[in-house]
Chains A and B, each alone.
Chain A
């Protein structure tokens, strides 16, 4: 069955450092991979999309990589700030599909 794994342990990081999160998947061939941010009591907010034929995508302090051979995506927050503290979810999407398949999320806590 399809499986998407994110580190379930919270990531504690010092302000200014780079946070790196992983998303691994099995039994799935996504055309797209998205990352969302979710704050407590709120719905997920879209951050970035990367396509299967793209290696890397950047947006401001965020960087996402996508390795379809390893079946893995890495999500980096550079120069992290306390306001970056949230849960980050990866989500996979097939080319002809519409529904998102989410990982369990990784909670990030940036300490000042």
Chain B
């Protein structure tokens, strides 16, 4: 694809509801990242996949957060029993081995989650 796409772009959830956020990385990109960005802050790392393997999930804030990438392409970030503090923009990024010289990550537009 032309770039990283994410859906939905906006999600309003009632507290306690489960949500699923989808990321379509750039075709062929091996690495996929999820970040959380609070208003006025920089993105914070959540988790990292290399192909289908989740190699780092140290940034997931609680066991309510779960991410998967079963076939090594599309990824889903799931948040169970959402809380108001989960309100943020969730960014997905991908990178390839050929971007190794710059280590550039290519970001999607994000999903803005609002928990009421």
Interface string of B1-45 (1 = CB under 8 A from A): 000100000000000000000000000000101010000111111
CB-based closest 3 A-B pairs = A43-B107, A102-B42, A46-B104
A/B interface sample: 12 pairs, CB < 8 A: A41-B110, A43-B91, A46-B105, A49-B103, A49-B104, A89-B42, A93-B103, A98-B50, A100-B33, A100-B105, A102-B35, A104-B40
CA of A38 to CA of B25, assembled, Å = 19
The count of residues in chain B whose C-beta lies closer than 8 Å to any C-beta of chain A is: 28
Nearest CB of chain A from residue B54's CB, rounded to whole Å: 12
Within 8 A of B (CB), among A55-112: 89, 91, 93, 98-105
B56 touches A99 (CB 8 A): yes
A44 touches B31 (CB 8 A): no
**Contact-size category for A:** 20 to 34
B42 touches A98 (CB 8 A): no
